[in-house]
Amino acid sequence: MKLILTAGLAALVAMPAMAAPGGAERQHAFKQVLLDFEPMGLMVRERDPYKKGAFIQHADALKLAARQPFTLFPPNSIDGKSRAKPEIWSQPARFAAEKTRFFAAVDALDTVARSGDLAAIKKSYAVVAQSCKSCHDSFRGPER
């Protein structure tokens, strides 16, 4: 009996953490992506010195970080903090195609990072940035 009560209480306490994710969770996850994407951007724009090892570390981390936000788009998860457009859910194949293209671009950047070929890295970085923009143009609404 005591065990059942304890388990019940634990489930109740855990509920907020288990609530469906919304805009705030997605925005946090996308900000984590920028923590790796922006330092690479500074290097490809030659605002910071290019360092092969640091660039590879960011490219490795980006591969993991880039996947995370896309686990946080369950149906009916537009809330007050969300810029997600309803088209994400009404045109799932188009959204999935953007996601697939983004992951492919991020994976290609990680591969080319290992070459240390800065000209090739710049091109690959631009493909990732274009993928961000393409998805935002179709599926991200204005700030609210």
Contacts with ligand ASC, residue ranges (CB under 6 A): 34, 37, 41, 129, 132-133, 136
| CB closer to ligand ASC out of 20 and 104 | 104
For residues 61 and 118, is the Cβ–Cβ distance under 8 A?
Answer: no
Separation between Cα atoms, residue 133 and residue 143, nearest integer Å: 15
Shortest Å, Cβ 93 to ligand ASC: 23
Shortest Å, Cβ 134 to ligand ASC: 9
| CB closer to ligand ASC out of 120 and 129 | 129
Shortest Å, Cβ 129 to ligand ASC: 4
Tell whether the torsion through CA atoms of 100, 32, 127 and 133 is positive or negative: positive
For residues 81 and 23, is the Cβ–Cβ distance under 8 A?
Answer: yes
For residues 32 and 66, is the Cβ–Cβ distance under 8 A?
Answer: no
Amino acid at 33: V
Shortest Å, Cβ 30 to ligand ASC: 8
| CB closer to ligand ASC out of 25 and 131 | 131
Separation between Cα atoms, residue 50 and residue 42, nearest integer Å: 9
| CB closer to ligand ASC out of 31 and 114 | 31
**If DSSP codes are grouped into helix, strand and coil, which group holds residue 142?**
coil
| CB closer to ligand ASC out of 31 and 81 | 31
Provide the residue count of the chain.
144
Shortest Å, Cβ 15 to ligand ASC: 33
